[in-house]
Amino acid sequence: MKRTYSIAIILVILGMVFGITLALKPAQAAEPIIIKVGSPTPLSGPAGPWGQIGIPPSQTWLDLFNKEGFKVGNKTYNFQLINVDDMNTPEGGAAAAKKLIYEDKVKFIVSHWSWNFPSVSAVANQAKVIYLCRTGNEAVPGGVYDPKKQPYTVFANPSHEQFISDIFAIAEAFPNYKRIGINDSTLGKGIGWDYVDRELDKAKIRYHHEWYPPGTQDFAPYITRYNEAGCDIIYGAGDVMAAMLITKQRWEMGFKTWRTGTSGGILDPMMYIGVSGMEASQGFMGQYFANWDFKKTKVDPKKIKRCQEVMEIVSKKQGKPYTYTAWIGWFPHHIEILTQAMQKAGTVDDPDAIMKAIRGGTFDTTIGKFTMSGAKTYGSPIVFGTPGCMSQIKGNKEVYLSEHPLTNLP
Amino acid sequence: MPPAGIWIDGLIQSCIYMTMAFGMVLVFSILGILNWAHGQFYMFGAIVVYYTITAWGIPFPISILISGLLMAGLGISVRKLVIDRVKGDLYVGVATISLIFFFEGAASMLFGMQDRGLSTVLPGVINLASFSISYQKVAVLFFTLVVLVAMYIVLNFTKVGLAIRATAQQPDAASLYGVSVGRLSLIVMGIGCGLAAMAGSIMAPVYAVNPFMGRIPMIMSLLAIVIGGIGSLTGAIAGGLMLGFLNSVIAYYLSYLSEVVLFLLVIFILLVRPQGLFGASLK
């Protein structure tokens, strides 16, 4: 009997010790909940390089972002990025959007810059999936954008507006310019350019437009026309091959003092030097998203630090300096908008509540703090600003040139 | 009147269209088919030259020859492995169209899709009175002259050339005279593809190199042979010459509408003289 009591007491004491130990052990943190985001991007075809180059830094940035994660309510979330090839075609865009939404079950579509916006938007809005992209012909006055039909579309990157900002930045960098020659392939011809022209006219910018058939490699006729129009700066709408060939050919034709450039980030200065030649490509201009170099737009130092860390990591992985900066203004910028919108709305699941938080909201992202234009402007009620920063090639590097932040959309 | 630079530019374009069109017509004359993947041999020629120069430091003229020979070999392989095994002109056309996408896809995987250049090859310009011309473009003129002279000599003063001309006119009769038509068609396929490759090689420093660079030259050389007359070697040269100048001059006056006007011109020629300017009358 005595022995039985002794064993029982020992067991109770052991049980109490065990229970106290368990109670004192800190509760294991819950795993972050994954939110899938899809990115239709050209991974094949002529536009493939521009889609592919953005993937390593975007994923690296996301890995760093996910280390902290973000909270909505008392839950922690991480994002998972899924890239699908949209082939830069309307059919490819629609197919990519359908795959992302219905097979991969993404909650949002982000970072979309291909010109097949309408097809992706149609699929996303039908499924009530919030879609962050750039503006295009559809978002300008007279365009096809209809906020009632596309209530889940966010123009997180201005396109024509940014081009206008680029031109302003160039004019400010070279106040004694004669005339700016603007070029685009006929694929880009649309009402968006009428809108650009109106804004440039309002600002009394001297310019001259040229269009060329897609695939053109010989620009001598166009360069001659630019010369006859009195141009001394040639700026393209984003066709990198055209810009490189214009840069080369204008040099060979004797117009060595002309400046050239194109909308969009400079992929790699050595690519331009390889095609155009070292001398000809000096001063070549492009959009610059190196937030550590911004002089007029303030960016949260923590966000700058993370972007620089990404550049270092990607450079190390690929074994050579990674110089492309446009990715900073796309994927991480969109994720920041989504994160802050979900936190403001207090939900990750209600797209209407999240959209309400986005419209007219102010967001602090990798390219600065801007307010979404809540008022109905250009037929598009939501457009984010842009730092409007330009760079140029100097030697074999890309350096800061000028800045004209687009804070207030006209 | 367009400035001198536009005419020079037109001449450079003519050179490439002539070379490409000549190769296409040569193949058509013997094989009776249009090789729709002709532009992709142009593309491969540029890519081969890119690598021979940047990776192995082989001088440019030798690189051009290497690319011509390699692509001649590829052309012969295409003839034996694809064209010979497909029955019917329509299906041969489909097969060579499929090759366009296959070759572009393969080049994209091996070369990558980013534009690359050979700006360091023959850098510099010659400054003339009112315009400049790059050494690279002077090389194009020189190359075209050499090719045309070489082809003239081959076709008119060699046994192979005689056999080609005989087979093009009367394949059955040529065969009776001991010409191995099958073997000749392989040689001609090789020459045609080799010419396209060398055209791409000589243009590699002038333009940018990428897997899709063969599409426009292919379309333009097709227009050139339609203008000149399908089946006529003289027509190919004349058509290429006309097309290069027209493209440059019309673009100077009408900008992007140059393509519209060029294709309207082709339709007009087809309506008025369907055999082209130098082709035999169709009856």
Please indicate, yes or no, if residue A383 is contained in any of the structural domains. Answer: no
What does the alpha-carbon distance between residue A280 and residue B124 come to, in Å, rounded to a whole number? 11
CB contact under 8 A, B117 and A244: yes
CB contact under 8 A, B119 and A280: yes
CB contact under 8 A, B9 and A218: yes
Please indicate, yes or no, if residue A246 is contained in any of the structural domains. Answer: yes
Q: Is residue A22 very low, low, confident or very high in pLDDT (cuts 50, 70, 90)?
A: low
Rounded average pLDDT over A70-88: 95
CB contact under 8 A, B207 and A212: no
Q: Is residue A140 very low, low, confident or very high in pLDDT (cuts 50, 70, 90)?
A: low
Same domain, A177 and A122: no
- Asked if A377 contacts A383 with a C-beta cutoff of 8 angstroms, the reply is yes
Same domain, A180 and A289: yes
Rounded average pLDDT over B187-214: 94
What does the alpha-carbon distance between residue A384 and residue A374 come to, in Å, rounded to a whole number? 10
In chain B, where are the structural domains located? 16-211
Same domain, A47 and A193: no
Same domain, A168 and A283: yes
Please indicate, yes or no, if residue A13 is contained in any of the structural domains. Answer: no
Beta bridge partners of A35: A79
**Tokens at A160, concatenated:** 């024509």
Q: Is residue B278 very low, low, confident or very high in pLDDT (cuts 50, 70, 90)?
A: confident
Rounded average pLDDT over B53-62: 95
In this prediction, residue A3 carries a pLDDT of 79
Interface of B with A in 113-172 (CB under 8 A): 113-120, 123, 125, 127, 131-134, 137
**Is residue A26 scored above 60 in pLDDT?**
no
Q: Which of A221, A224, A277 sits opposite B123 (nearest CB)?
A: A277
Q: Is residue B279 very low, low, confident or very high in pLDDT (cuts 50, 70, 90)?
A: confident
B275: helix, strand or coil: coil
Task: Provide the CB-side half-sphere exposure for A243 (13 A, CA).
Answer: 28
Q: ipTM of the assembly?
A: 0.90
**A244, closest residue in chain B (CA to CA):** B208
Mind listing the pLDDT tens digit for each residue in B7-34? Answer: 999 999 999 999 999 999 999 888 888 8
Same domain, A104 and A40: yes
Ramachandran angles phi, psi of A145, nearest 5°: -65, 135
Rounded average pLDDT over A281-297: 97
List chain A residues with CB under 8 Å of B120. 277
Name which of B16, B110, B207 to mutate to probe chain A: the one with the most chain A Cβ atoms within 10 A of its Cβ: B207
CB contact under 8 A, B117 and A240: no
B14 in contact with chain A, both atoms CB, cutoff 8 A: no
CB contact under 8 A, B9 and A49: no
CB contact under 8 A, B116 and A274: yes
Q: Is residue A410 very low, low, confident or very high in pLDDT (cuts 50, 70, 90)?
A: very low
Same domain, A278 and A180: yes
Same domain, A187 and A68: no
Rounded average pLDDT over B180-193: 89
Q: Is residue A374 very low, low, confident or very high in pLDDT (cuts 50, 70, 90)?
A: low
Q: Is residue A142 very low, low, confident or very high in pLDDT (cuts 50, 70, 90)?
A: low
Rounded average pLDDT over A342-346: 97
Q: Is residue A115 very low, low, confident or very high in pLDDT (cuts 50, 70, 90)?
A: confident
Please indicate, yes or no, if residue A237 is contained in any of the structural domains. Answer: yes
**Is residue B36 scored above 60 in pLDDT?**
yes
Q: Is residue A48 very low, low, confident or very high in pLDDT (cuts 50, 70, 90)?
A: confident
**Is residue B282 scored above 50 in pLDDT?**
no
List chain B residues with CB under 8 Å of A280. 119
**Is residue A382 scored above 70 in pLDDT?**
no
**Tokens at A321, concatenated:** 């300096």
List chain A residues with CB under 8 Å of B113. 44-46, 48-49, 52
Portion of chain A with pLDDT greater than 70, in percent: 93
List chain A residues with CB under 8 Å of B5. 220, 224, 253
What does the alpha-carbon distance between residue B199 and residue B220 come to, in Å, rounded to a whole number? 13
In this prediction, residue A378 carries a pLDDT of 39
In this prediction, residue A276 carries a pLDDT of 95
Please indicate, yes or no, if residue A209 is contained in any of the structural domains. Answer: yes
Rounded average pLDDT over B49-72: 96
**Is residue A343 scored above 80 in pLDDT?**
yes
A273 in contact with chain B, both atoms CB, cutoff 8 A: yes
Please indicate, yes or no, if residue A102 is contained in any of the structural domains. Answer: yes
Q: Alpha carbon of B107 to those of B77, B98, B114, B130, B204: distances in Å?
A: 17, 14, 11, 40, 15
**Is residue A79 scored above 60 in pLDDT?**
yes
Pairs of residues, one from chain A and one from chain B, whose beta carbons lie less than 8 Å apart: 105
In this prediction, residue A409 carries a pLDDT of 54
**Tokens at A388, concatenated:** 């409007």
What does the alpha-carbon distance between residue A88 and residue A66 come to, in Å, rounded to a whole number? 29
Q: Is residue A191 very low, low, confident or very high in pLDDT (cuts 50, 70, 90)?
A: confident
Q: Is residue B265 very low, low, confident or very high in pLDDT (cuts 50, 70, 90)?
A: confident
Q: Which residue has the higher pLDDT, A231 or A373?
A: A231
B202 in contact with chain A, both atoms CB, cutoff 8 A: no
In this prediction, residue A177 carries a pLDDT of 97
In this prediction, residue B87 carries a pLDDT of 84
Q: Which residue has the higher pLDDT, B229 or B57?
A: B57
Rounded average pLDDT over A239-261: 95
**Is residue A377 scored above 50 in pLDDT?**
no
- Asked if A42 contacts A115 with a C-beta cutoff of 8 angstroms, the reply is no
Mind listing the pLDDT tens digit for each residue in B226-244? Answer: 888 887 888 999 999 999 9
Same domain, A345 and A249: no
Same domain, A168 and A129: no
By residue range, what is the domain housing residue A102? 33-134+327-366
Instruction: Domain count for chain A, please give it.
Output: 2
- By mean pLDDT, which of A65-79, A182-196, A237-251, B67-81 is the weakest? A182-196
Q: Is residue B209 very low, low, confident or very high in pLDDT (cuts 50, 70, 90)?
A: very high
Q: Alpha carbon of A122 to those of A145, A290, A309, A376, B252: distances in Å?
A: 11, 33, 37, 20, 40
Rounded average pLDDT over A43-58: 89
Q: Alpha carbon of B175 to those of B26, B89, B172, B238: distances in Å?
A: 18, 22, 5, 30
- By mean pLDDT, which of A55-64, A137-146, B206-215, B254-263 is the weakest? A137-146
Q: Is residue A376 very low, low, confident or very high in pLDDT (cuts 50, 70, 90)?
A: very low
**Is residue B281 scored above 60 in pLDDT?**
no
**Is residue A28 scored above 60 in pLDDT?**
no
Count of Cβ atoms closer than 10 Å to residue A284 Cβ: 23
Q: Is residue A372 very low, low, confident or very high in pLDDT (cuts 50, 70, 90)?
A: confident
Same domain, A128 and A194: no
Portion of chain B with pLDDT greater than 70, in percent: 99
B135: helix, strand or coil: helix
Please indicate, yes or no, if residue A130 is contained in any of the structural domains. Answer: yes
Question: Can you state the angle between helices B38-54 and B181-203, rounded to 10 degrees?
Answer: 60
What does the alpha-carbon distance between residue A58 and residue B118 come to, in Å, rounded to a whole number? 31
Q: Is residue B131 very low, low, confident or very high in pLDDT (cuts 50, 70, 90)?
A: confident
CB contact under 8 A, A46 and B210: yes
* C-alpha R_g of chain A: 25
HEC assignment per residue over chain A = CHHHHHHHHHHHHHHHHHHHHHHHCCCCCCCCEEEEEEEEECCCCCCHHHHHCCHHHHHHHHHHHHHHCEEECCEEEEEEEEEEECCCCHHHHHHHHHHHHHHCCCCEEEEECCCCHHHHHHHHHHCCCEEEEECCHHHCCCCCCCCCCCCCEEEEECCHHHHHHHHHHHHHHCCCCCCEEEEEEHHHCCHHHHHHHHHHHHCCCCEEEEEECCCCCCCHHHHHHHHHCCCCEEEECCCHHHHHHHHHHHHHCCCCCCEEEEEEECCCHHHHHHHHCHHHHCCCEEECCCCCCCCCCCCCHHHHHHHHHHHHHHHHHHCCCCCCCHHHHCHHHHHHHHHHHHHHHCCCCCHHHHHHHHCCCEEEECCEEEECCCCCECCECCECCECCEEEEEECCEEEEEEECCECCCC
**Is residue A252 scored above 90 in pLDDT?**
yes
Q: Which of B113, B119, B255 sits opposite A248 (nearest CB)?
A: B119
Rounded average pLDDT over A316-330: 94
**Is residue A239 scored above 60 in pLDDT?**
yes
